[in-house]
Structure 1
Amino acid sequence: MPFTSLGLSAVLLKTLADQNFTDPTPIQQSAIPAILNKKDVLGIAQTGSGKTASYVLPLLMNLQQSSGPKNRHANVLVLVPTRELAEQVKGVFHTFSKGLPQPIKTLAVYGGVSINPQMMGLQGVNILVATPGRLLELVDNNAVHLNTIETLVLDEADKMLNLGFKEELDKIIALLPVKRQNILFSATLSNDLQNINQILLHDPVVIKIEAEEESLDRITQVAYIVSDEKKGPFLRQLIKEHRMKQVLIFASSVHLVEAIVNKLRKNRIEAKPIHSKKSQGNRSDTLRLFKAGHVTALVATDLMARGIDIDALPYVINYDLPRSPKDYVHRIGRTGRAGNDGNAISLVSHGELHHFEVIQKKMGKQVKLIDSENL
């Protein structure tokens, strides 16, 4: 099914072609027509399935037919869990709104940066992409009103609930018009999400795209048994022996991320940290440098994973294991993307062996396990 069959305008189709988008993904095939028809949508699909474009494209087209905002009253509100995702979503709106007959203004607002420029930028906004906490701050400052919102999008709804945003979501939803279009996207369908779904959505079009196991087939996985005290030296040995020029390293805490970066730098490996304690400007600069190949090792927490999308990233290393098998799959899924081969390496301590067995069972794949003492 080509994009031309989904009801999109000629301008949007040209932009898709210019951006080398050829065929819609399964989530796009189902969601775009439903959103164009202003139906409520519940979409369950993994990160990387193309869900952002699946709501961006039809919402831009629907906005072309609306009368537009007055002052600071936006038409579309997109709620996201992290600053990185807010910037990413804003970027997709900007990319596809180029060339539209009616100009569309998109603004991303989030904490960690000054609120004043965001307040000033709200004038004439059509699409507001926001993290829940900062949005409520703007409401409290009388900088934005939500009574003209025609469409609400909850993107990565599962992550928002996992991060404890339920109270903020309840407050925001209470400020919205009762009559509106609701779009909810999530990687999973938890009990909490079911409850929000029942409150928010009215006769929704339900789209569930099962994660494809073969999506990991382009990733070569290997794990090394390494004691906790030897993980640092072993990590540096791996980077040097494999002559890694670009590697994403995951660690379980902000403290551990900083410690890994310090050790790498002391051993003349260019490394930078990315985590929630860094300012948005710092995080944006770090990602830009890493993507451009000016930083060898980017060390991140799981919270940052959803904003890191690099098509040809060759290596991902788990310095320690994440708590859930889903997070493990999400981590290693940063490599082996867009038809490229990838490599995922895990450093597993003796205390993590049982948990690693659980991860492999849930993933449905056996990973080669090597005792580093025998190397």
Structure 2
Amino acid sequence: MNFSDLGLSKQILDAIKKANYDSPYPIQIAAIPAILQKKDVLGIAPTGSGKTASYILPILQRLQEKEANKGRMIPILVLVPTRELASQVAEVTENFARFLNRPVKALAVFGGVSINPQMMKIYGTDILVATPGRLLDLLSKNALNLNQVEILVLDEADKVLNMGFKEEVDLILERLPKKRQNILFSATSEESVEGLINEMLHEPVRISAEPDTVSPDLIEQYAYRVPMEQKGPFLRYLINSGDWSQILVFASSIRAADNIVTKLGKNGIDALAFHGDKSQGARTEALHTFKSGKTRILVATDLAARGIDIKFLPLVINYELPRSPKDYVHRIGRTGRAGATGEAISLVSEEELHHFKIIQKKMKKHVQLRSIDEIEF
């Protein structure tokens, strides 16, 4: 099926082509017509499934039929759990909107940075992408008005709830008009999400991309049995032995991520850390430097496992395993995206062997554990 079969206008189709999108993902095939028909939509979809474009494209089409916004009344509100996802959604929106006749203003607002510049930029915003806490801050300062929101999108609802934003979401819902279209995406349909689904959605169209207990098919997974004290040298060996243009390394803690970066630097390997102790400016700069290829190695905590889209990332390395099998899938899902192949390598210590077996069982995929005894590093 092609984008032209989904009810999108010629103008949107031209924008899709100019943005170099080839064919729709399954979730886009299901969601776009339903959203164009103004139905509530529930999508159970992991990261990397193409969900952002599945709601942004029909929203952009709807906005082409309206006059440009000239005030602080927000017509489209997208709630997301993290600043990185907020920036990504705004970036995807702008990637399509720049080719449209009617200008569309998208703005990402989040905490960790000064609120004043965001307040100044809100005027004329068509699509506001916000984290719950910062949105409530802006509302308390009368910087915007939600009385005319026509479409509410809650993206990564499970993450929003797991990060403790349920109370904030409830306060926001109270400020919205009762009559509106609701779109909710979640990687899981756990009990807390079901409660929010029942609260928000009215007779929704239910869409399911493959649940995140299944790993992406295009990812080649490898695992090596590596003692903790040898993980550093073996990581350097892997980095130096391949010709990967970019490598995303996952650590289990902020301290571990910083230590890895320091040791790599002492051995002549340039790397940047990406985690919650970094300022928003530092995190944005680190991502930009990594995406642009100026730095080959990014070392991240699980903060980066969701909501960051790095096209054609060839390799993910799990320096340490995550606590949750779901987080493992989110981590390796940073590669093997947009139809490209990718690789994921896990360094598994003796202490992590049992946990790695649990991860494989949840994934329903066996990953052969290789020995490093005959590898010189």
- How high is the TM-score relative to the length of structure 2? 0.94
- Counterpart position of 1:150: 150
Q: Distance in 2 between matches of 1:365 and 1:91?
A: 34
Structure 1 residue 73: deviation in Å? 1.0
Q: Helix, strand or coil: the match of 2:184?
A: strand
Q: Is the CA contact (8 Å cut-off) linking 1:68 and 1:75 kept in structure 2?
A: no
Structure 1 residue 237: deviation in Å? 2.4
Q: Distance in 2 between matches of 1:234 and 1:68?
A: 55
- Counterpart position of 2:226: 226
Amino acid at match of 2:327: D
Q: Helix, strand or coil: the match of 2:159?
A: helix
Structure 1 residue 241: deviation in Å? 3.0
2:257 equivalent to 1:262? no
Q: Distance in 2 between matches of 1:267 and 1:244?
A: 18
Structure 1 residue 298: deviation in Å? 0.4
- Counterpart position of 2:138: 138
- Counterpart position of 1:9: 9
- Counterpart position of 1:329: 329
The answer for unaligned runs of 5 or more in structure 1 is none
- Counterpart position of 2:319: 319
**1:204-263 deviation line (CA, Å, top 9, x unaligned):** 111112249986343332212222232222212222233554211001111111111111
- Counterpart position of 2:91: 91
Q: Is the CA contact (8 Å cut-off) linking 1:245 and 1:293 kept in structure 2?
A: yes
- Counterpart position of 2:173: 173
Q: Distance in 2 between matches of 1:174 and 1:348?
A: 47
- Counterpart position of 2:345: 345
Q: Distance in 1 between matches of 2:358 and 2:322?
A: 12
- Counterpart position of 1:207: 207
**1:63-112 deviation line (CA, Å, top 9, x unaligned):** 22234535211100000111111111111111222243322111110111
- Counterpart position of 1:285: 285
Query: Superposed, which structure 2 residues align to 1:179-194 within 5 Å?
Result: 179-194=179-194
Q: Distance in 2 between matches of 1:182 and 1:15?
A: 25
- Counterpart position of 2:46: 46
Identity over the aligned pairs, expressed in percent?
59
- How high is the TM-score relative to the length of structure 1? 0.95
- Counterpart position of 2:55: 55
1:69/1:337 CA distance change after superposition, 3 Å: closer
Structure 1 residue 168: deviation in Å? 0.9
Q: Is the CA contact (8 Å cut-off) linking 1:146 and 1:176 kept in structure 2?
A: yes
Q: Helix, strand or coil: the match of 2:129?
A: strand
Q: Distance in 2 between matches of 1:5 and 1:49?
A: 19
- Counterpart position of 1:368: 368
Q: Helix, strand or coil: the match of 1:216?
A: coil
- Counterpart position of 2:82: 82
Q: Is the CA contact (8 Å cut-off) linking 1:276 and 1:304 kept in structure 2?
A: no
Q: Distance in 2 between matches of 1:47 and 1:118?
A: 27
**1:265-296 deviation line (CA, Å, top 9, x unaligned):** 11110000111222222222211221222212
Query: Superposed, which structure 2 residues align to 1:103-118 within 5 Å?
Result: 103-118=103-118
The answer for unaligned runs of 5 or more in structure 2 is none
1:12/1:261 CA distance change after superposition, 3 Å: same
Q: Distance in 1 between matches of 2:192 and 2:251?
A: 27
Q: Helix, strand or coil: the match of 2:230?
A: helix
Q: Distance in 2 between matches of 1:148 and 1:97?
A: 22
Q: Helix, strand or coil: the match of 2:221?
A: strand
- Counterpart position of 2:236: 236
- Counterpart position of 2:35: 35
- Counterpart position of 1:122: 122
Amino acid at match of 2:177: P
Q: Is the CA contact (8 Å cut-off) linking 2:74 and 2:148 kept in structure 1?
A: yes
- Counterpart position of 2:355: 355
Q: Distance in 2 between matches of 1:102 and 1:215?
A: 40
Q: Distance in 1 between matches of 2:206 and 2:143?
A: 35
Q: Distance in 1 between matches of 2:19 and 2:213?
A: 27
Q: Distance in 2 between matches of 1:153 and 1:218?
A: 29
Q: Distance in 2 between matches of 1:227 and 1:212?
A: 29
